[in-house]
Amino acid sequence: MSKEVTKSTRTVFEQIKRVDENGNEFWTARDLFKVLEYIEYRNFKPVIIKAKRACKNSSYIVENHFVEVNEMVPIGSGAERKTENIKLSRYACYLIVQNADPNKEVVALGQTYFAVQTRIQEIQQMDKYNSLNTEDEKRLFLRNELKRHNLQLADAARNSGVISHCDYAIFQNHGYKGLYGGLDAKAIHQNKGLKKTQKILDHMGSTELAANLFRATQTEEKLKRENIKGKNEANKTHFEVGKKVRQTIKELNGTMPEDLPTKESIKKLEDKSKKIGKK
Q: What pLDDT digit, counting tens, does each position of 171-216 carry?
A: 999 999 999 999 999 999 999 999 888 999 999 999 999 999 989 9
7-11, 79-83, 141-145: the lowest-pLDDT one: 7-11
Residue 3 has pLDDT above 50, yes or no: no
67 closest CA partner among 42, 87, 83: 87
Q: How confident is the model at residue 4 (pLDDT cuts 50, 70, 90)?
A: very low
| Identity at 47, one-letter amino acid code | V
User: So what's the pLDDT on residue 187?
Assistant: 95
- Judge contact between 66 and 92, C-beta under 8 A: yes
Q: What is the mean pLDDT of the chain?
A: 86
What confidence tens digit (pLDDT) does each residue in 212-234 have?
A: 998 998 899 889 888 899 999 99
What confidence tens digit (pLDDT) does each residue in 116-166 have?
A: 666 666 666 566 666 778 898 889 989 998 998 999 999 999 999 999 999
| HEC letters along the chain | CCHHHHHHHHHHHHHCCEECCCCCEEEEHHHHHHHCCCCCHHHHHHHHHHHHHHHHHCCCCHHHHEEEEEEEEEEECCEEEEEEEEEECHHHHHHHHHHCCCCCHHHHHHHHHHHHHHHHHHHHHCHHHHCCCCHHHHHHHHHHHHHHHHHHHHHHHHHHCCCCHHHHHHHHHHHHHHHCCCCCHHHHHHHCCCCCCCCHHHHCCHHHHHHHHHHHHHHHHHHHHCCCCCHHHHHHHHHHHHHHHHHHHHHCCCCCHHHCCCCCCHHHHHHHHHHHHHC
User: Which of residues 44 and 252 earns the better pLDDT score?
Assistant: 44
Taking residue 40's Cβ as centre, other Cβ atoms within 10 Å add up to 8
Question: For residues 15 and 23, what is the distance between their CA atoms, to the nearest angstrom?
Answer: 16
Share of the chain above pLDDT 70, in %: 87
> Is this structure's pTM higher than 0.85?
no
Domain residue ranges in the chain? 3-94, 134-278
User: So what's the pLDDT on residue 80?
Assistant: 75
